[in-house]
Amino acid sequence: MTKPACRVWATRIERLDRHSLQAAYVLHTRRYGDSSLVVDLLTREQGRVACIAKGALRAKGAAVRIQSFAHLLVELRGRGEVLSLLRAEAATSTAQLSGRALYCGLYINELLLKLTARQDASTALFDDYALAVQGLAAASPPEPILRRFEVSLLQHLGLGMALEMDQEGQPIDAAGSYNYDMDSGPRRVSVGGPTAITGETLLALRDGEFTSDQVVREARLLMRRVINHHLDGRPLHSRELFR
């Protein structure tokens, strides 16, 4: 008799067929019919996938909870855009995010849903996402976590930012002022305007280290412009939570 989907197997993980399981994080869920869920996962081996978790809402007792930020071992089957979730096992305890950390987690989940293509795997992006969630759960300062993840995501998408050299091929000067053009990168300016940023901020984004309030603020504003550009007019609903 087939066991219900999403229920934890009584057999220990060591005895399962490891070739059929892969690590995944839950990005989003929505109800499907009376008892099932459509689940968006970020998986280590297949990238972002959508799948149906049949009977997930009926599962009780030892069943694993399928919720945002849950770190699972999953078995997926099927072809096409939407797969079937045959098995789910808790890999670690689910990150408990609250307050601003929760809003930040929902933001990075929405970025993945809006900007990545399905089944475009990147182990580096998966690992960067795991680090971001772990950092938010540990109550680390959220701004550096978000900026590092945004830069990593853009690199994965082939949209990496120019953070080493300016438009003239000169190394970024930490003491200089720059305007950032979405197509051609940073251009040095003698007088900073409303969107100008320091070279220190560009280098901070490159290195993932943010050492002053000014750098944090400039990095946030620049990355908002860059992300908006790549969203091409699509809204990010998670941003409303920060207001």
pLDDT attached to residue 61: 60
Whether residue 162 is contained in a domain is answered as: yes
User: Do residues 78 and 20 touch, judged by C-beta distance below 8 A?
Assistant: no
pLDDT attached to residue 7: 39
pLDDT attached to residue 60: 73
| pLDDT tens across the length of the chain (243 residues) | 333 333 333 233 334 454 589 999 999 999 999 999 999 999 999 999 999 999 988 877 656 889 999 999 999 999 889 999 999 999 998 889 999 999 999 999 999 999 999 999 999 999 999 999 999 999 999 999 999 999 999 999 999 999 999 999 999 999 999 999 999 999 999 887 888 999 999 999 999 999 999 999 999 999 999 999 999 999 999 999 987
Residues near 34 by Cβ (< 8 Å), separated by ≥ 6? 57
CA distance 207 to 205: 6
Q: Kindly report the three-state secondary structure assignment for every residue of 22-80.
A: EEEEEEEEEEECCCEEEEEEEECCCEEEEEEECCCCCCCCCCCCCCCCCEEEEEEECCC
pLDDT attached to residue 59: 76
Q: Do 136 and 197 belong together in one domain?
A: yes
Residues near 2 by Cβ (< 8 Å), separated by ≥ 6? none
CA distance 98 to 142: 12
pTM of the model: 0.88
CA distance 44 to 23: 6
From 56, 90, 124, the end of a domain falls on 90
Q: Do 34 and 84 belong together in one domain?
A: yes
Q: Do 134 and 71 belong together in one domain?
A: no
C-alpha angle 26-128-16 in degrees, rounded to nearest 5: 50
Which residue range(s) make up the domain with 54?
13-90
pLDDT attached to residue 12: 34
Whether residue 6 is contained in a domain is answered as: no
Q: What CATH number is associated with residue 178?
A: 1.20.1440.120
